Structures are given as structure tokens and as C-alpha cells.
Structure 1
Amino acid sequence: MSDSPQNGGLPSHPKPAADSGAGTPTGFQRPLNKQLDSVVRTPGRQPSPQPTHLGIPGGTHRVLAEQGPGYVAAKFEGKEAQMVAVSEQLENNGFIPYEFVASETNWFYNLLGIDDMYFQTETVEVIASHILSLYAAKVAAYARDDKRLEIRLDKEAEDHAVYIDTSRPGVTTTDGPRYEQRIDEKYINGATATDSFRVETFRSSSPLPDNSEQQLRCYFVYKCQFANPNPDPEETNIEIVGDKLFLQKATENTKAIYQELLINAVARSGPVIKMFEIEGSREKRLVIAYRQGSAMGFFSALSDLYHYYRLTSSRKYLENFSNGITIISLYLRPTPGYENSSRHPPIEAAVHQILKEISLLYCIPQNKFQGHFISGRLSLQETIYAHCVWVFVQQFLNRLGSEYTSLAAILDSNNSAHAELLSKLKKRLRSETFTSDYILEIIQKYPDLIHRLYLNFANTHYVQTRGEAQDDFLPTLSYLRLQVDEVLNAEQLKDLVSKTVVSENDRMVMQSFLTFNAAVLKTNFYTPTKVALSFRLSADFLPKHEYPDPLYGMFIIISSEFRGFHLRFRDIARGGIRIVKSRDKEAYAINARSLFDENYNLANTQQRKNKDIPEGGAKGVLLLDVNHQDKVAVAFHKYIDSILDLLLPPASPGIKDPIVDLHGQDEILFMGPDENSAPLVNWATEHARKRGAPWWKSFFTGKSPKLGGIPHDRFAMTTLSVRENVEGIYRKMGIDQTKVRMFQTGGPDGDLGSNGILLGKEQYVAIVDGSGVLADPNGLDREELTRLARSRKMICEYDVSKLSKDGYRVLCDDSNVTLPSGEVVNNGTAFRNTYHLRPGNYDIFVPCGGRPESINLNNVSSLIVDGKSVVPFIVEGANLFVTQDSKIRLEKAGCVIYKDASSNKGGVTSSSLEVLASLSFDDAGFTEHMCVAKDGTPPPFYDAYVREVQETIKRNARLEFEAIWRENERTGVPRSVLSDTLSVAITQLDEELQKSELWDNIPLRKATLKDALPKLLIEKIGLETLLERVSSFFWRLICHLNVANHSLFRFPTTTSDPSSAATLPAASCMNTAPTPASLPSSTCKFKPQTCNISACIDRMLISSIAWASVCQRRRSRLSRSQHGTAEGRGPTPPPPFWINVPRPYKKKNLDVFFFHFSLPFNDPPVPPCHSLSRPNRN
């Protein structure tokens, strides 16, 4: 066969292709019932440089000239001698009549087409037993009424396995041994580069003796013996990474095909799919390459897919390679008897559809409605659609009901008994009314409704695509179904559901499909290649009483390894990506029920803690499936890639198809590290770059310094803000931290846990982490803790010989452990999970890890004895560890609490300033000044910038700590409430300022930005250049936020820390009417070089945050002084630099009013008139 591409051959050395992410061949045809004008196409955004990795009809076909299987048949020289030995063995056994031994042996050896490798591998005894089993099956069939022959043979050894059974071609059977599922589970799903198997399977061509439609199917599994078992992960040379037996048996043509797919598969994260014609035959060869462990159950699910279209495989091969790539080769042909069926598509159309659906199958190989697919009742698209809605319904079915809302309105939320009752009722309703199994059971009952509901979804989002060649265009079966079947609108479907279902619960579940359909704004469901399913949703369907703060953006992502969300409260928002693991099925069920609520609350907390940065709050949470707890990297890769599918525009023809975009606006997400995702952010950054994202440098923060990142854990960014709050308490209470007894959740293996140990000087008395509990009332050995923290090891590595006689360590796997006190611990996991609720002899509790709501209204009473909190101080490093209502109860009982939104905001500050640097430099400057060299040498600018970021974090944390402490002492309002009040006030004030004319005043704009931006960036790049390089929208956010923060944070400080006093300019908003002399004259010009911009901003625009009545009086005095009220006098023009703020601004009794602006540099401070609560009117 020639290697010329013109005749369908392969080049001898295929060229590598860049990562494709989810790129596909494209160009599209507008369906007759579809409006695609809303598909977003953004000029100037370059398509991602991705390879065409999906061959479809309409493209350039490659025709394989060879008729054989693509493998050279092994030649076993001792076959004849072995056959004689087997016959003798059978004769000696005596179970087969002598006159049948020769014929049965000959049939097995020569007529079934079994590969010589089998005979070379197996012993005479094993082969004889297999022949005997086949003969016994024939005898059993003769005794059956239907005379049907059933053969079930299987032999599993350590390094190989053989399975032989009878089955009808083109039909998936749900009874019987299901050997393909067995092979998936035992040999393929858990494959690694060092422990993997190859599979050969074929169907016999000769008929079975019972004259039925059945044929013999044989599977041979062999352990791989690689030429190089430990190659570089990027190695693609097939001679290096291939199995020795494969390299021996594969033809040159097969090696060339596999070589090309290897190159593309290594370069991307999703499957690579190719289709080849077989010369002189209708048989098609599909070859699929994908990463090991990324699609559990994929091998057997492929059979379900082509069986649905009445195709069967004559041969199948699965090859693993030592670089972590798996390749499957299928030889497909029409099932006998269905070659010209009018009810099923011809093989050409069927293969086209299979090519489209393989990546859909790859996303969820075994969905919850697979039975309907196998039976032919529903298509693959319909079952996976139902699976996705099943996941959706579990989170959003309104399980509380109107009755709960009415009850909540009647009861007093300030009454602890009422609040606890509501909390328990809410938890029970959410966990027991509609379980995942119950929802699944309901949906399973209505396959016809699923079909109708799916058509409604498809009619909105399906886009028919063309191949590269127009004359060979084949419409997909999905497109044809939309032309034939009636598509009902939402009202018609609602009526159909009501008429079809048999109960109110069934109606609620099935009508949730309509909620889902209406909420989806765009999806990658119909993108021909993808790694997980992603949906951009409108959040309008969320009930306001459960989720009072509206979301701006909402993504749901689903694959077989995980389900997850990404939520944000502003268009430009940032937050980390958390990967949640579950220890067992019970923990998984709990985590699954609360997944969205956890994500929403985390994003809301992020919104509150982002008060110091221009970005709003966001968060992403992935919950690993209970059977995929080891798939952290796989799940993260799929999560990121599928979100990018919806963020990046359609690429050039031949690479990625357009999607229907009902949102109609470009979106950018800013992400960062969180629980279990920190080691993966480098990959995400590089992947965004390979996908062609223009914002790849700022997509993820906390990445490696070699990529220009500032890792939070390495530089203790989050811990710095936590420590400022911890040390602030010590400072206010006059406590020597070396005498403090500390309890911490989150061990020395984590970011906060390890850096907390390294930065503090307290005496640790207990630490709880993922491995168990470590406690010593006499104090844990600090040197040993430091060793663990520096090496990032869990407490299970602690040297127990350094415990005192009263100390102990209880690991999760321990049971029946007797503590020094005599207490017996029956279950180590249960002990670990509730240890934080045990009253202990410690002074401060710092949660640095643990699940959200670990302390809630149902258990907080464990920490309150005789009305007093047994915990003096809590600084919440872990997000949402203590629920808000529990915080308030603890504060009322005397505990000093600084909540997460105030205490652990250092990470987001670091991330925001990291992004600012990446946006500010051009590519060359970014590499020179922000990227650490390969030898680990940081640029001087990088070191200095990190130090400036650290100082900014500490300064911001100190400002907020002081403001909350002062207001709590003055008003008695709980600190947890003040934290939220402060966050909301800054956010609302910032939003109001965005409506003002502040940005239009150019001198003021520049002066404000000079005050807000890192000094190093201004010195290195220059303000004018910065303004040119970064979107003005971003600068507006920074400018307005800086003004808002000046108003609410920069109070006169009374701290004993002199360094703090030097860095906090006094607030100086005017609380008395200005005199004419103090007003700017008509010739006054703002001179940034001679003015204290901090003081100017405080006086210029932002009001005091105070009650409306007080501010109204002051505004009236200001107005009279400025404009005059004498009869006949018109108002005088406002002085230069007067900024008009919309007024009156009354939200939650807050008011914003006018202030004049330009004040001299040394102007003495004027006492502030603003506060966070009602001032004394006298």
C-alpha cells in the first residue's frame, strides 16, 4: 500500500498536532427549525491551534487496502504436536467418546479461527478442558427443548485470561456472564503504565451446530510486556512505548495508524477518533485513542453503541502503551439479516452517527439509564440527557416546599430553640424526601416522556454540521429525528407530563426536566468531541428564599468521574476550585446532597471576602464519584476542558463546531487553587494556552513561579491573613502567644495547617487531619510538628515516642483504642469526625481544614456549657467550618470569633495581584520579570513583588480586624454580623460608585489608581502603559473599590502597633459644613504630586456610612453652605472636581452624599462621621 495521502495511505512520519481540547471538524448547516443568529462569533479572537481528530463522512476518507485484521497471525511451530497431545489427553479422560475426539479437537484447532498465540500460551491440560467444556455444552443443548447451544468458558491467570461464549451478533445481552464488563472491571479500568493488559477478540465465522443465529465469541487477554516500561510521559515513538507482542504482530499499516493517533492523544486530553474504509468491503474500521483510566467501562459500552445501530464487530483489539495511552480498534459490519433493513440506517449513516456519539459515550460510558439504551427504547443521547437531568434534579428539586417557608416566617429566628428546630427540619426534608435513588426510580418509569423532553432540549441546542466536502454530506440521525418527530413546546410538555405521571412526586420530578431545558443557555453536549458535559445555566430558577443573593453565572459539569459546579456572583469574579473526596458511600451521599449549597455558600463567602479586590466572588466544586476517589487529576482535567468548551469561541473550520449561545456574551473565569487542586493549576494554565485562550496567563493563579505564578502555599498567602487575626486577638487581649494552647483542624500536610505551624509560636495540644487525631494535653513536640510541616506530611507520620504519658494518636482505621484517660474509642473515623465538638483544655481553635458546617446549630451546644463557650477564641481559616447561626450563638456565649470572610482573604488578594501583573506585562516582560528561571532563580522584580503582595495582605487583614474589633466594642454587635455588614457595605458602595462620574475625572482617576496599584508595577511599567494594556473596565473596578475601601476601612487607628499607625491614613470625611475658605476656588487645580490621595479620596466622594437621618441633616447643612438659600439667589455652580454620586442612596439605611475634594497634603484629619451602625444622636 502506498504512503501517499492521495490514495488514502498514511505518511511515514505523521506530524505532531497541538492540543485540541474539544476541537472538532466543523462548518455547519442551519437546520430548518433552528435560528443560529445567536451563536457568538467574536472577531479578533483567534481559534485554538488544535488538530482535526475526528474523521467523518464528508471529509477526506482514507481507504485501507489490506483485507486482514491489521495483525500478522502468530505462527506456533508446535501446534500439530500439541494437537496430538490434546487428543491423547481427551482420550485418557474418557468423557468424550473416542470416535468424536478427533473431530472435536480439529473443530477447536482449525475451524474456530483461534489465534496461534492462544495455543502457544496455554497448556495441554487447559486446552483439553476447554474442548471438553464445549462438548459438554453441545450435549446440554441437545437435552434442551429449544436445542440452543450455550457455551460459557473462562480462565483467568495472573498474566492472561481467556473467555469464550455464544451470543447473537449485534445484540447486547443483559443476562449471562457479560465478559466484556468483566474485562473492563478486571483488566482495563485500573490499567496503569506499569500494570496493563492488551485484549484481542473475534467472532467465529463458522456456524454453530445448533443452526441458530448464535456465533462463538472469543476474548484473549495478555499482560503487557513493554519495550520500555518507564518512558517519558510525552514519548510518542511506538517502537519505544509499545508492547512487545503488539510490535511483533501488528502490520506496518497498523503501526502507522496507531503512531498517528499516539501523537495526537499525547497532545490532548480527550479521545482521538479515526474512521477508515476497508477496500472492496462495506466494513469500517474505527480506531480510538484515549488516556488510560479516563473512561471506565468504555470498552464494553462501545459494543452497546454499535449494537444500537445494528452493527457488529468481526474483530476488536485493545492495546495499552507505556506512556499511558490506550487504543481500541473496531472492525464493524452490518449485523446479519439487517444489511438492508428499512428500520435501521445503512452502515455508512450509522458509522457517521457513531463517530459523533463516541465522545458523548466517553463522557459517561455507563449512565444511569443504560438499560433503556441497551434495549433500544432510548438513544444514547436521550439516556445521557436523562442522566444529566437526574444529577440536576437532585440538587434543585424544591424539597422544602411552601409549608417550610410559611413555618420559617412564623417562628422567631433569634430564638435558639426555634432556629435549631428549623435547621433540623430543613436537613431532614432535604435528605429524606427525594433521595437520588427515588428520583432515579421515578425517571426510569417514563422513557417516552424522556424522549419528548429530550427533543425539546435538542431543538434548541442541536447544530447540524457538515464535513469538509460538501458533495459527500450526510445529515446525522439526530438531525433527521428533529425533522421527523414532533417537537413540543414547554406548555405542551407541561400538559403532557401532567397527563402521563401517576403521582404528585412524579410530576415534580418530570417537570424538573422543563426547568433544566429552560435554564440551559449553552452546552457542549453536541460538540463532536468533549471530555465531560458542561452546561451554562441561567440561575433565575433558584428560589429567592433559599438563595437570596442572585448568582451572575452558573455552570454544571458532569462526567462519570465527578459532578461539579462553577458559580460566580459578578461578571468578573474569582475563586478557587475545590475537589471533594468521600471516605465511604455514606459520606458521598451526604456530600452529593449538599453539593450545590456548599458551592453557593463558598462562592458567597468569597464574594464577601473579596472586598479588597476588584473581582467578585466565585467558586468551583467537584465531587468525585464514590467509585473514582483516585481520579483527582482526571476529574480536574475534564472539568477545566469542558468549561473551556463554553468560554472559547468556535475555532476555524475543521477543528471546532459552533454551539448555540443563548447567553450571547463573552465570559472569562478567573480560578485558583483550593482543596486538592493546588498541584494541578500548572496543567490548567498550560492547557488554556494550548486551547488558544487569550487570557491563559490570568486564567489560574497560585501556579508555579516558572509560569509567573505566586503559589499560595509556598508564600503562606492565606495563612498570613489568618495569622494577622490570631495575633490581633493576642494583641488586644495582652496574651503572650508562646503561652497559648492551640487546637487545629487541618494537618501539617495542608497549606493553612503547615504554614500555621511554621509561622506561629503557640503550644499545640491537638491536631485533626484526614488521617486521624493527634492530641497531647501537655503539648505536642514542636520540632516534630515543624518536621511534618516542612515535609507536608500528615499526623500519621508523627513520632509517637515524643508524646507524653497523657498524649495519644487515633487514626481513622483504628478501632477499640483505649486512651490514657481510660476512654475506649470504638471507631477511629467517627472519633476523628466529632473530635472538634469535644470540650477541651485549649485557648484558641483555628480550623484550617474540614468539611463545611462541621459546627452547626444541631451540635454547637456541645461547645457551650452553662451558657458559656468552652472555646475562648476561634479564627476560621477553613471556609464555612462554622455556620453563621452557630457563630452568633457562640459569640453570645462569650467566644471571640473572626469568621472566614474576614480572616482567610489573603489568598484571593494574592491571586488578584498575580493576575494584575500578568495583565500588565506584555509576553516578553512577563517572562523576564515574573517567570522564575528553570534553575529556580527568581527575577529581582518577582521577589520584590511577592514581598509587596505579602505586605498588602497583612495590611488589609489588620485594617479589617481593627474595624470589626472597634465596632464590636462600641456597639456590641457580634463580630460575625459586623463582618458581613462590612462586606455588604463595601460591595454596595462600590456598585453605587460605578454609576458616578468619578471615572470621567481624568486627574482624579490617575491619582486614585496610583494609590490603589502596586507601586512596583507603576515604577516598572508606568501608569499610562498600564492603562493602555488592560481593559478600562478592570481599572474602573479597581478605582471605585479603592475609594469604597478608603471610606470604610481607614479609620483613625488606636492600635498599639506603631507600624500599623504609620500605614493607615486617617479618615477625614467632613462632619461639619465646610467654610467658604475651605472650598476649592474656581482656579483650584488638583495636583497629585502635592496631595495626599488617601486623605483626598476619603474627603472627596465617599460619605460616611451612617443612618439616613443623620446624613440628611449634614447634607442639608452642606447644601446651604455651598449653594445658599436666600430668596432670589440661584445655586452657585459646583466647584471643580465635584463628583456627582446618585442620591439619595438608601439601601439598608445607608446614604451617600456629596463631598468636595481637593485638600492640601498636610491638612489635619477631621474625625469621621461614619460608622457601621447607628451613632448616638446626641
Structure 2
Amino acid sequence: REIMESLASVDHQEAFSARIHESNKFTYVSNMILDTAMDHPDLIRFLFQLFDARFNPASPGDMTEERLAQKASEFDQLLSVRFMDDPLGYDVFKFMFKLISCCLKTNFYKPEKRSFSFRLNNQILDPLVFKQFVFGLFFVNGHYSTGTHLRADDIARGGLRLIRVTPANHGMELDNAVLLNYALGPKAQRLKHKDICESGSKGVVVPHPTYAHYSMDALFDYTEGIMDLMLADSQIKDYYGRPEMVFFGPDEGTAPLMDAVAFRARERGYAYWRTITTGKSFGIPHDTYGMLRNQDLFGLVPHEKSGTELLINGDSVVTATDMDLIYEHIGGQVETSGMTTTSVMGAFRTLIAYNDTKEESLNLMMTGGPDGDLGSNEIQCYKGKICLLVDGGSILFDPDGLDKESLMKIAFMRHTHPRANSMAYPEEKLGPSGFRVPLKGKNITLPDGTFVADGAMFHRNFITDPANRKFIEQADIQAFIPCGGFKDTINQRNVKAFTSLFKELRFIVEGANVFFDDSARRYIAKKTGILQIKDSSANKGGVFSSAVAEVLTAFLFEDDYEKRLLEDVATRWALIRDMLTLVRTHASNETAMLLEIHEKNPDTPLFVLSEQTSEQIFAFQNQVADAMDAILADEDLLWEVMAAYIPGVLVKILGREAILGIMNADKLRAYRNAIITKKLASTAFYRHGSEWDAYVASTRKGFVPAMKALFEPADEKV
């Protein structure tokens, strides 16, 4: 801890945390832990007796904290003598005790269960490695898989990631699972969720090697175990003592499985089965709908072999496998497409407008191609030239600009089976200096005579190889929107080469998550004139849409959800319009505020401001929470908050009385309070962030009046 506190650089602190984690992995290996346990059966017996007394429903009463502390002292005395010369053995058994003391409930004694599950408090985590606050943790181990779930707050949502395993990598993936879970959920996802009532969470599921391809079984082991601990059951002793709601979503490997998870929750009698996961086929997908430049709405809906259906304002226009037919109707007319890309482009367009630059004049490079949701939607709506596209198929480059019609038709194919990537781009559309180098290509000669022996190597190094400057300097690429790529593609080791290669770059808006690491962002901010908006500020449209269009709407409509949203075309499309508008507004407001603060504090990089301002919003949420009783006592203020958070079409349909009746019910109290804290804090910051300290001080003179002032008509921002 002293070493950690002595490190001034955040990058060094992160590196030290990673080193601690790596050291622990190589010190406490599974064979050593097993051998240590087997060598001391009496200590294992002590631990099981403690576990049984604490969690067996047949044991009398609950174990008090005082009794648990006595047992901890007794056990520590045993360990101190037994492991006087074996500190590793001491650590192993000390942690075993901690597993019991930190466990709040388990399904261990439930007669029928699919997996063993444990709800743990955050004391189980090493604070030197897991520095960001974690509200709670689930650990699940079943026949097909094992997994963890970490969340940043009581009300939190995030995707479930199914890890691809082989017998060779299983041990490594299992070792890394908790740290990956932490990085993706409580740490990164939390920053994205500043505008919605759910904080960030994530689940990581690691199949056992024998069942690597049993995706549904692996996921059901996980979700069924957690469901056991969410439903009331006399066989489960509950030291947490209050109901919990867990919200899942799709992530790598689980997107097609969300319906099954929701329907299984319904079978088990879970009242909120519609909200337990987003990304369902009967929700509003965040990658399907967009807006044309004439303000009409459109949707591209997949229909397997029959192709892609184009909807405009709810009406079916055409279903086709020939993308020419879709292009005839909307080609070159897309203003924005997909909730996530709407957020990214809201940030991008605010950034360039702040710098008096027109989108049409900016040549763009992008990673991630037309077969991904971000890449596909970016291609559809970008108004300038796209000169470089790097995806899983090839390096596609043309300094004169790639043919937009061809790219757009390939992008439309994302909703048709099979999807197409950059390899579908017609080579005859390349200009005299343009080229395509397939990932699997060999022995290719480029237009200038450059010989490429291996496409994979060329692909891997293209955006960081100084030799490619002769191509890039022809293209005047001034904007970069990564829409795909590996974690930390641009990092401390290669960022200098990247910026030397793309000398003309002026703007980077991170569509893809964690494409840059912080050391790379810091170098770009300090050594170049590039303005860069971080992923947690730009890429938040998908999570916003899922939270509001799916979870909130399901709570409000309850059992009428299918009838009032899915079957009522007018309501569904009005909600889609509201969502696109809200997503764009939130992204634009945050970006504008970051730029305003950055102009006053140019020495602080934009990516640092993105994190700092998020933390300021979170801190103000605590002040809102402290004033919750006073806010709830003012029904007019409560309604102003709800009406600002809930899409207008739902307010119009349900009305004030019905909405407040639903949200004030005991079962939704935590959810309602999360809406209040999040909405008031983010609204206050986007309006007063440039003078934040002064504003916060002013609220102490009268907190509720200050909150009511946020909704006065004279204010310009929404």
C-alpha cells in the first residue's frame, strides 16, 4: 500500500496493480492451494462447521457478527501457530475464512439447483488491485461453467460475456476472469452510465473446457445460480437482508441467448423477467433504427434468408437481399443510424462544430468494418470521405476516398446472412492509388510498386508502421473514429509511431471501447494538437437506449408491455424518435461541457476531464441522495425529474398520476431513487459544469430550490 501511494502517475499505479495481480496468480497456483488444503483436514473441518452454522437453514438462528469475529480470532490463532514458517499456507487458509465471512447468502443448501452460487460483499477483493468501489459480487460454479458478476452500485446493469476457451487457454482465462470482470464493469461501464439510473456492471462466464461449445448450458449455470439468490427461498439464509434486482445484457458470446434468459426468469416466477436482460428480440434493438436527413425514421430488420427489411416511419418499404433496392430509398440520406453511433456522432459533430469545421471537409479513417454494428452505422451516416478502413477482412485504402455507394450497400448487408466485410468492396471502384490488402493475402504488389509478402503482417502493423507514411500523406486524414479493434491497440509502445504516421489528424472520437490505453491518450494530448473524446463520453448511446427504451419502459408498461409497445406501431416509433433525440442530446451536452472546461484548463487532457467530470457527477449524486427525503416530499420536483428522464411519448400515454404511482411503489423504490440521483446530478453538471465548484457551493443555501431551478423554462439545455 505504501508503494502504491508513493506512485504519482496513474499509469504507474495501474501497472503496479497489474503486477500485484500477476504475482498473486503465479504464487497461489491451483495445485499449491489444493495440496495445502489436503494437508490440513482439521482446518477444513473447522471451516465447514463454520459455514454450516452460518448458512444451513436447519441451524438455529443467524450467526451474529460478534460470533463471527470470535471465530475469526480463534482460527487466526490456529493459523499463526500452524503456519509459523509457511506464510503462503497462512494466506490460503486466511482467504478461505474470508470466503465464508464475506458471503451474505448461498444456494448451497437448496435441494434442487443447477449450480452453486454465492453473494459476496466487496471485502473479498484486494483493495490494491480493485481500487474502484465494487458494490457486490456473485460467484457461480456449475457443471458447465464458472463465473462472476460485479456491479458498481445497487442498481446496475451490464452485459454477460462468454469467454471462448480451449483446454490450452482455460486456466489463463479463469485466472483473468475476475480482473476482466472488474475492468469491464465497475470500472469502465460505470463511467458510461452517468446519464442513466443503472450504474455499471458486468458478468464473465468461463465454460469448463469439456463444454466449451455449450453456450446456453454455460450461461444457464450462471444465470440460474444468481436467480436462486434473487428469489425468496426458505432454504437460503440471507445476511444481506433486502431484495436485489440484477440487470443483464448481451455481450460477446451471449447476444443470441437473451430471450432464453428472460423467458426462464418468467418460468421461475420472477416478477421483473422483462427487465432482467436487455437485447431481447422483443425489445428495441440499439443497432437497428436511425434517422434520415429529412427527419423520417428508418429501420433495417434482419429476416435471415429472405434478406433485410427496410421500414420507414413504421411502414415496410422493401425486403430484399439485393442492397441496390434499399440504397434506392435511403442511400446517401442517413443522418444517423443506431443508438451507439448516434451517440458517437453526437460527440463528433459537437467537437468539430466547436472548432468551426464541417464534416464534409474531413477525410476519415476507421477501424471496424461494415459487418459490425458501429462500423456499419458509421459508414451509413458519415458525410465526408472515408479514405481508410481496417477490419477483419482487409486493409482498404483510397486517398481519393472510397466509393460511398459501394460501402453503404455492404453496410446494409450487415442485417442479411451472411454478413460482408471489406472484402466485398469492388476493386474496380478503387482509384489509381487505392488498394485492398486481404488479411489472408500473399505476395501482393501495390499500385506504387510496394511488395506485400504477407497480408496478416501488413494488416497487424499498418496503422503504426512508419513505412506507410508514403500512403497516408496522400489522403489528408484528419478524423479517426475507431469502430472496432483489440483492447489497447494503440498503447504506450506504439503511440509515437501512430501519431508520426497520421500527422494530419485533428480529431479522434472513440467509438470502440478501450482502443487506446491511457498512456497513449496522454501522449496524444501532450505531444500533438489532436482533440480526443474518450469512449466513456462518446460511446454511451447503446447503454442509454437499453436502460430507457427496454428496462424503464418494461417497468412502466408492466404486463401491457407487449400490447402497448410491441403491437402499437405508433407508440413504438415515437419512442424510437425520442430515444434517438435523447441519445444525441446527452452526447452533445457532455462533449460541449468537456470542451468548455478544457478551454479554461487546456493543461488537463480531454480524456482526463472525461473521467474527472464523471467523478464530479457521481459525487454530486451522493449529495442528491442525502437530500432524498426533501426531494420526495416535493411532488412537483419529483415529477419534473421523472418527466425529464422518461421519454415524452411515455409521459403522454401514461400521465403524471400513473407514472408516480408506479415509481413510488415499494418494489421500485431503489430504482426510482437511482433515477432521481442520476438525473439531477447529470442535468446540473451539463448546465453548470464550467463553474462547478461555485454551483455546488450555491446549492448549500437551499438544495431543493436549486434542483427546482434546473427545470425552469429559461434554461437553454435539456
How far residue 525 of structure 1 moved from its aligned partner, in angstroms, is 3.8
Matched residues in 2 for 1:756 and 1:818: separation?
30
Give the conservation status (yes or no) of the 8 Å contact 2:443–2:451. Answer: no
How far residue 991 of structure 1 moved from its aligned partner, in angstroms, is 2.0
Give the counterpart of 1:917 among 540, 549, 553. Answer: 553
In the TM superposition, 1:986-1135 aligns within 5 A as: 986-996=617-627, 997-1030=630-663, 1031-1050=668-687, 1105-1106=692-693, 1111=697
Give the conservation status (yes or no) of the 8 Å contact 2:406–2:426. Answer: no
SS at 2:692's partner residue?
Answer: coil
Matched residues in 2 for 1:881 and 1:679: separation?
25
Aligned residue number for residue 788 of structure 1: 410
Gaps of 5+ in 2: 60-69, 290-337
1:721 correspondence with 2:343: yes
In the TM superposition, 1:318-717 aligns within 5 A as: 402=1, 405-406=2-3, 408-413=4-9, 419=11, 427=18, 430-431=21-22, 434-435=25-26, 439-449=29-39, 451-452=41-42, 454-456=44-46, 458-462=48-52, 491-492=74-75, 495-496=78-79, 499=82, 503-559=86-142, 561-581=144-164, 585=168, 592-603=174-185, 604-624=187-207, 629-650=212-233, 658-704=235-281, 707=282, 709-715=283-289, 716-717=338-339
Aligned residue number for residue 3 of structure 1: none
How far residue 660 of structure 1 moved from its aligned partner, in angstroms, is 2.9
Matched residues in 2 for 1:542 and 1:726: separation?
38
Matched residues in 1 for 2:218 and 2:669: separation?
36
SS at 1:855's partner residue?
Answer: coil
Aligned residue number for residue 964 of structure 1: 594
How far residue 951 of structure 1 moved from its aligned partner, in angstroms, is 0.9
Aligned residue number for residue 883 of structure 1: 517
The AA in structure 2 aligned to 1:947 is: R
Matched residues in 2 for 1:627 and 1:892: separation?
49
Matched residues in 2 for 1:489 and 1:562: separation?
31
Matched residues in 1 for 2:507 and 2:707: separation?
43
TM value normalised by structure 1? 0.49
How far residue 511 of structure 1 moved from its aligned partner, in angstroms, is 3.8
1:754 correspondence with 2:328: no
How far residue 550 of structure 1 moved from its aligned partner, in angstroms, is 1.6
Change (3 A) 1:541 1:762: same
SS at 1:808's partner residue?
Answer: strand
Aligned residue number for residue 798 of structure 1: 424
Q: Deviations over 1:1109-1153 (max 9, x none)?
A: x948x98xx8xxxxxxxxxxxxxxxxxxxx557xxxxxxxxxxxx
Matched residues in 2 for 1:883 and 1:873: separation?
17
Gaps of 5+ in 1: 1-401, 467-474, 476-486, 651-656, 933-937, 1053-1066, 1068-1103, 1119-1138, 1142-1153, 1168-1178
SS at 2:25's partner residue?
Answer: coil
SS at 1:957's partner residue?
Answer: helix
Q: Deviations over 1:961-1020 (max 9, x none)?
A: 111111111221221122122212222212212222122122332344334432222221
Change (3 A) 1:891 1:943: same
Q: Deviations over 1:496-530 (max 9, x none)?
A: 48626974445444543333333322233443443
How far residue 948 of structure 1 moved from its aligned partner, in angstroms, is 0.8
Give the conservation status (yes or no) of the 8 Å contact 2:365–2:386. Answer: yes
Compute the RMSD of aligned alpha carbons.
3.9
Change (3 A) 1:465 1:991: closer
How far residue 903 of structure 1 moved from its aligned partner, in angstroms, is 0.6
Matched residues in 1 for 2:245 and 2:455: separation?
46
SS at 2:82's partner residue?
Answer: helix
Change (3 A) 1:429 1:667: closer
Matched residues in 1 for 2:458 and 2:716: separation?
56
Q: Deviations over 1:537-589 (max 9, x none)?
A: 11113333433332111112334654432111111112222334369956x67
How far residue 731 of structure 1 moved from its aligned partner, in angstroms, is 2.2
Change (3 A) 1:855 1:1044: same
How far residue 898 of structure 1 moved from its aligned partner, in angstroms, is 0.9
Q: Deviations over 1:916-971 (max 9, x none)?
A: 21111241x32221124xxxxx5211111111111111111111111111111122
Report which of the two structures shows the higher radius of gyration computed on alpha carbons: 1
Give the conservation status (yes or no) of the 8 Å contact 1:430–1:593. Answer: no
The AA in structure 1 aligned to 2:190 is: Q
How far residue 533 of structure 1 moved from its aligned partner, in angstroms, is 3.5
SS at 1:671's partner residue?
Answer: strand
Matched residues in 2 for 1:999 and 1:1022: separation?
18
Matched residues in 1 for 2:390 and 2:711: separation?
55
Matched residues in 2 for 1:824 and 1:506: separation?
55
Change (3 A) 1:582 1:882: farther
Q: Percent identity?
A: 28
Aligned residue number for residue 565 of structure 2: 930
The AA in structure 1 aligned to 2:625 is: Q
Give the conservation status (yes or no) of the 8 Å contact 1:747–1:794. Answer: no
SS at 2:118's partner residue?
Answer: strand
Matched residues in 2 for 1:787 and 1:619: separation?
34
How far residue 445 of structure 1 moved from its aligned partner, in angstroms, is 2.4
SS at 1:646's partner residue?
Answer: helix
Aligned residue number for residue 311 of structure 2: none
Matched residues in 2 for 1:432 and 1:824: separation?
41
Q: Deviations over 1:1073-1096 (max 9, x none)?
A: xxxxxxxxxxxxxxxxxxxxxxxx
Q: Give the length in aligned residue pairs.
A: 632
The AA in structure 1 aligned to 2:692 is: I
SS at 2:202's partner residue?
Answer: strand
Change (3 A) 1:1161 1:507: closer
How far residue 901 of structure 1 moved from its aligned partner, in angstroms, is 1.5
Change (3 A) 1:558 1:1158: closer
Higher relative contact order (CA 8 A, sep 6+): 2
In the TM superposition, 1:53-68 aligns within 5 A as: none
Matched residues in 1 for 2:97 and 2:51: separation?
14
In the TM superposition, 1:78-97 aligns within 5 A as: none
Change (3 A) 1:547 1:446: closer
SS at 1:578's partner residue?
Answer: strand
Give the conservation status (yes or no) of the 8 Å contact 1:578–1:674. Answer: yes
Give the conservation status (yes or no) of the 8 Å contact 1:614–1:1034. Answer: yes
Aligned residue number for residue 808 of structure 1: 436
Going by fraction, where is helix more abundant, 1 or 2? 2
Matched residues in 1 for 2:99 and 2:707: separation?
51
Matched residues in 1 for 2:143 and 2:503: separation?
45
Matched residues in 1 for 2:285 and 2:716: separation?
41
SS at 1:987's partner residue?
Answer: helix
SS at 1:1022's partner residue?
Answer: helix
Q: Deviations over 1:728-784 (max 9, x none)?
A: 233233444344333333332222222222222343344444556555555444344
In the TM superposition, 1:104-119 aligns within 5 A as: none
Matched residues in 1 for 2:508 and 2:139: separation?
34
How far residue 889 of structure 1 moved from its aligned partner, in angstroms, is 2.3
